[in-house]
Structure 1
Amino acid sequence: MSAMKSNGGSPWAPRQQLERSAHVSVTIESPNNEDHSNGKHCSRPENKKLARSIRKKLRNLPSQSSKCCIFRVPEKLRQGYEVAYMPRVIAIGPYHHNDPGLKRMEDHKLRYLQSFLRHNMNIRLEDCFERIRCWEDHIRSCYDGPIELDSDEFAEMTLLDGFFVIQLFLMFQNPRWRLDGDRIFGKPRILDEVRRDMTLLENQMPFFAIERLFEMAYGSHQKHLSGLLELAYGFFRPSTNIEELPEAVMESEVQHFLDAIRLLYLPTARKPPSESEDEIKFIPSATELVAAGVKLKRGTSQRLFDIKFKKGKLEIPRLKFYYSTESCFRNIIAFEQCYYQNDRYLIDYMTFMDHLVNTPDDAKLLINKGIIENWLGNENAAADLINTLCKETFQRSSNTYFSSLRGELDAHCRKPHNKWKATFKRNYCSSPWAVLSIIAAVVLLTLTIVQTVCSLLSLK
């Protein structure tokens, strides 16, 4: 109590004194510290060197842009699945521009440019480069990392890649435009590889840049040509297996071709983000759902998200697994993980399917029901793909499209009488002979009861 009174009644005074004394001792023991009392500064040469280095880094620090939409695949997604993200025959854009294994296709890009110029005599390369230099900063801002190309190299790459893509789409639609001995259209395997490479996240160009080149070249012929987006969907249709192109997709703002492909799979009616932050519910697997009385059926819709659960019947549109499916889906999922905050639709869909498929037996059940069309070899390969597509991804419960469906399936499986009915049907109604035996047993039991009652009545 006496200590508190001697320091103005404050219990913190002793601590303040200790801090002041500690500060004084540090100042005395550090003669090289700055002297703030007289405004003089003592700087070591090595500190000046470090300061200059930091200032240089700050000057060269790339600006962060809200336009960024083309990313390097995060390392945690890439590990173990590097092949799915790497181009095999062609580089589009700057990330793989100097890859030695892709150089062979650079000459083919020049051939396509030559073909383009022959059919468009009024187009001057000087004008194209002038336009591209006006867009350069905008195009660069669409990439998430520094681009090791100077302005001339960047303009040349943009022109060659842009017109290559345009000519590729036009040649695909109009075979008479193709070159004699074309190494892409003359060999179907190369065409499939090019199409696959153009769906990779790291192998994209901003859509607006290619569209502006397209308008420069064919703007006056728009009445006789399909739009660039329509040409793109026609080119990618063999890998997406989506025949009808919804009007809403054509009116959407597209970032690049991978984003355009992603739009094909999305539901026609989008759901706003939920305010709930509860954990995502795990639903039972396919075999467990069947054991709980749920009937699995292949849906007729082409849209993956048109999954319906009504009166104990779960309808799931057919999911096709081809050799190119893994690469396409992994890159769309990586794009959603990097770019979209609340619209991670394919991640949600594949998470839902991952819950359905826990074992190869689950995959086999869905294959037998026609829900999965499997060209990967066997059910083990299909199960492995489903179980690893969303590995290391993050999904919030507030933006899950299937949250209400998960709740309905979970509620159905929690009711004991659903399992009892399913067990009874499986054990006693699985074949006509089993049904007949049950009917015979019921009839026999009924006759026995009637006979017993009659016997008791006769005794009276």
Structure 2
Amino acid sequence: MMNNRGAPRTPERPWEKSADNHVSINIESLNIENLNNKLISRRNHANLAFSIRRKLRSLPTLSSECSIFRVPKKLWCSYEEAFTPRVVAIGPYHRHSQSIKQMEDHKLRYLQSFLKHNRNCRLEECIEKIRSWEERARRCYDEVIDLDSDEFTEMMLLDGIFVIQLFLLFQNPKWRANGDRIFGNPRMLYDVRRDMTLLENQMPFFAIEGLFKMVFGAHQKHMPGLLELAYGFFRPGTNIEDMPEVVMESEVQHFLDAIRLLYLPSVRKAPCESEEEMEFIPSATELVAAGVKLRKGKSKCLFDIVFKNEVLEIPQFKILYPTESCFRNIIAFEQCYYRNDSYLIDYMCFMDHLVNTPGDAKLLIDKGIIENWLGNDEAATHLINTLCRETFMRSNNAYFYSLRRKLVEHCQKPHNKWKTTFKRDYCSSPWAVLSVIAAMVLLTLTVVQTVCSLLSLK
């Protein structure tokens, strides 16, 4: 077969055409599949980007007003009981706990009684006021509070009025209703007071104080302030006799913050600038062996510890049954909020080094430095040794930095231990003193006799 130009025409081969088409179809299918994969990938990227942007938009801003925290996990896991409310929830973190649901009805009763006896306080006005504080109050918590505006406002109202009414009834027993489940049961009152010192069981102080002033502002001259009422209520648990003026003058974040201030010195010292590592002081027994005399200090402030003329004066530390829960929560609060101002952590770290064994605790108890209500020396030792466990401790607190150095330097001088050993072994009684004197006289006479004998030989 010839083509138009006379050249032989190549015969068609159907199998070759079919193969070309098959290759072309495969390539097109591959291209379409790649395109689909790219489209799917881009869609997935876009969906993920949208999800991340949504999280970024809903991410709470870090606020300097945040002062109510969840307890750090390491502390919580080791001592959960010390951080968990038993009978009442204040604020959002434990309000759904089944074990304390019954107190919610009692909060309503307190609100009813409060409105009945304070005719100038209208419920609608309280709600309006609290709702105006909602945004600021939410910023006081370190977690996003999963409550709508009405739920959050109701919670703040019930808890705030509950606290105010509780303080008023504590101060004025004649106002209490018959059958009040809190004041009619000493154990319940103890648990309520203890629950209100927990870090996770707080509400912003400004909100409670705002309600208090709203109701009693016109009568403020004729009644104590909110902090005074709070101090009267918490006093049995803290065992602090006088409320320092620094508490009244401070910007309190919540009631746990106010309790912490009760223990702090009225005049603060600037922290030391040294970067040296913290020195571990010897235990009480080792200090005594090095000639240090332990004495109970006269000051009511725990931080007024003085070492002078080989005498270490330490103010009395009373270990009561509420002490563990209160101190653990203050320490957790300092870990989260007062990282550069951790007074109680530094104090308990000092006491931890001082008390290594029940023998150390007994020595301090015998000296009146520790007043132990826990029943035995082992319990006091365990509490002191575990309060600062899993915490970050600073070493440049001015109240302890120089004190540690002085104690360590004193114990490192060998003659201090030799002098103490000599006094213990040879001067512990009049007869021991007389025997030492007799031995010295005998030794002197022997030396004199020997010298005289040598001189006579010459």
* TM-score normalised by L of structure 2: 0.88
Query: Offset at 1:435?
Result: 2.3
Q: Does 1:113 align with 2:95?
A: no
Q: Which shifted more, 171-180 or 55-64?
A: 55-64
Q: Offset at 1:397?
A: 2.8
* Residues 274 and 399, structure 1, Cα contact 8 Å, conserved in 2: yes
The separation in 2 between residues aligned to 1:162 and 1:443, in whole angstroms, is 80
Q: How far, CA to CA, are the matches of 1:227 and 1:433 in structure 2? A: 64
Partner Cα distance (1:128, 1:360) in 2? 54
Equivalent position SS for 1:143: coil
The question of whether the paired residues in 2 share the 8 Å contact of 1:276 and 1:397 is answered with: no
> Does residue 343 in structure 1 map to residue 326 in structure 2?
no
Q: Take 2:433 and 2:154, find their aligned partners in 1: how far apart are those partners?
A: 75
Q: Within the alignment, does 1:305 sit opposite 2:334 as a pair?
A: no
Matched residue type, 1:192: Y
Task: Indicate how the Cα distance of structure 1 residues 342 and 104 shifts in structure 2: closer, same or farther if over 3 A, else same.
Answer: same
Contact residue 206 and residue 256 of structure 1 kept, 8 A: yes
Q: Once the 2 structures are TM-superposed, how far is the Cα of residue 322 of structure 1 from its aligned partner?
A: 1.4
Q: Distance in 2 between matches of 1:273 and 1:318?
A: 24
In 1, distance between residues paired with 2:388 and 2:99?
29
State the alpha-carbon separation in 2 of the partners of residues 327 and 113 from structure 1: 29
Among 63, 76, 79, the alignment partner of 1:78 is: 76
- In structure 1, the residue matched to 2:276 is 278
1:313 & 1:32 partners in 2: Cα distance?
85
Provide the secondary structure at the position in 2 that maps to 1:373. strand
Cross-structure match for 1:98: 96
Residues 176-222 of structure 1: CA deviation (Å, up to 9, x unaligned): 12121111111111111111100000000111110000001111111
| Alpha-carbon offset, residue 436 of structure 1 | 3.0
Match of 1:173 in 2: 171
Over the matched positions of the two proteins, sequence identity in percent amounts to 73
Q: Distance in 1 between matches of 2:368 and 2:393?
A: 28
Task: Return the alpha-carbon distance in structure 2 between the equivalents of residues 300 and 32 of structure 1.
Answer: 84
Shift of 1:342: 1.6
Structure 1: distance between partners of 2:85 and 2:40: 55
- Kindly state the Cα deviation for residue 172 of structure 1 after the two structures are TM-superposed: 1.1
Q: Per-residue deviation at 1:59?
A: 2.3
- 1:199 match: 197
| SS of residue matched to 2:133 | helix
Aligned-residue offset at 1:153: 1.0
Distance 1:33 1:399, change over 3 A: farther
SS of the equivalent of 1:70 reads coil
Supply the distance in 2 between the matched residues of 1:182 and 1:430 (Cα, whole angstroms): 61
* Counterpart AA for 1:394: F
> How far apart are residue 226 of structure 1 and its match?
0.4
Instruction: Note the C-alpha offset of 1:55.
Output: 2.2
Q: Secondary structure at the match of 1:342?
A: coil
What's the counterpart of residue 151 of structure 2?
153
Moved more, 49-58 or 200-209: 49-58
Alignment of 1:121-132 (within 5 A): 121-132=119-130
SS of the residue 1:347 aligns to: helix
1:430 aligns with 2:428: yes
Report the alpha carbon displacement of residue 456 of structure 1 after superposing the two structures with TM. Answer: 7.4
- The match for 1:14 is none
Of the three residues 279, 293, 296, the one matched with 1:295 is 293
Identify the residue that residue 221 of structure 2 maps to in structure 1.
223
> 2:319 is matched with which residue: 297, 318, 321?
321
Residue 368 of structure 2 aligns with which residue? 370
Superposed displacement of residue 149, structure 1: 1.4
| Alignment gaps of 5+ in structure 1 | 1-30, 36-40
Kindly name which structure, 1 or 2, has the bigger radius of gyration based on alpha carbons: 2
Q: Distance in 1 between matches of 2:35 and 2:411?
A: 73
Of residues 170, 189, 208 in structure 2, which corresponds to 1:210? 208
Q: Secondary structure at the match of 1:282?
A: coil
In the alignment, what sits opposite 1:419?
A: 417
Once residues 444 and 45 of structure 2 are traced to their aligned partners in structure 1, the CA distance between those partners, rounded to angstroms, is 101
Paired AA for residue 215 in structure 2: A
Find the partner of 1:140 among 131, 138, 141: 138
Instruction: Give, as a single letter, the amino acid of the residue that structure 1 aligns with 2:253.
Output: Q
**Residues 334 and 33 of structure 1: CA distance in aligned 2, closer, same or farther (over 3 Å):** farther
Q: Is the 8 A contact 1:342 1:399 kept in 2?
A: no
1:196 aligned partner, one-letter code? R
Q: How large is the RMSD of aligned CA atoms in angstroms? A: 2.2
Letter in 2 for 1:397: S
For each residue in 1:272-325, what CA deviation from the matched residue of structure 2 results, as whole angstroms up to 9, or x when unmatched? 232222211111111111111100111111110010100000011111111211
Q: Which amino acid aligns with 1:260?
A: A
Does the C-alpha gap of structure 1 residues 293 and 218 become closer, same or farther in structure 2, counting only changes over 3 Å?
same
Q: CA deviation at 1:399?
A: 4.1
Residue type of the alignment partner of 1:80: S
Q: Is the 8 A contact 2:245 2:266 kept in 1?
A: no
Q: Which moved more, 1:146-155 or 1:331-340?
A: 146-155
Name the amino acid aligned to 2:149.
S
How big is each residue's C-alpha offset from its partner over 1:331-357, in whole Å with a ceiling of 9 and x where there is no partner?
Answer: 000000000132100010011111111
Query: Is the contact between residue 348 and residue 400 of structure 1 (CA under 8 Å) also seen in structure 2?
Result: no
Residues 371 and 458 (structure 1 numbering): CA distance in 2 closer, same or farther, change over 3 Å? same
Letter in structure 2 aligned against 1:118? K
Secondary structure in structure 1 of the residue aligned to 2:303: coil
Q: Is the 8 A contact 1:277 1:396 kept in 2?
A: no
- Match of 1:108, SS state, is helix
Q: Which amino acid aligns with 1:155?
A: T
CA distance in 2: counterparts of 1:57 and 1:367, whole angstroms: 56
Q: What pairs up with 1:2-17 in 2 under 5 angstroms? A: none
TM-superposed CA distance for 1:447, in Å, is 5.0
CA contact (8 A) 1:70 1:143 kept: yes
Q: Which of these residues, 55, 65, 68, is aligned with residue 67 of structure 1?
A: 65
| Cα drift, residue 242 of structure 1 | 0.8
Please name the residue that 1:242 is paired with. 240
Q: Residues 303, 399 of structure 1: CA spacing in aligned structure 2 closer, same or farther, 3 A cutoff? A: closer
Aligned match of 1:361 in 356, 359, 362?
Answer: 359
Could you list the per-position Cα deviations for residues 395-442 of structure 1 after superposition, in whole angstroms to 9, with x for gaps in the alignment? 233445310100111111111111111111111122333223223333
Change (3 A) 1:288 1:146: same
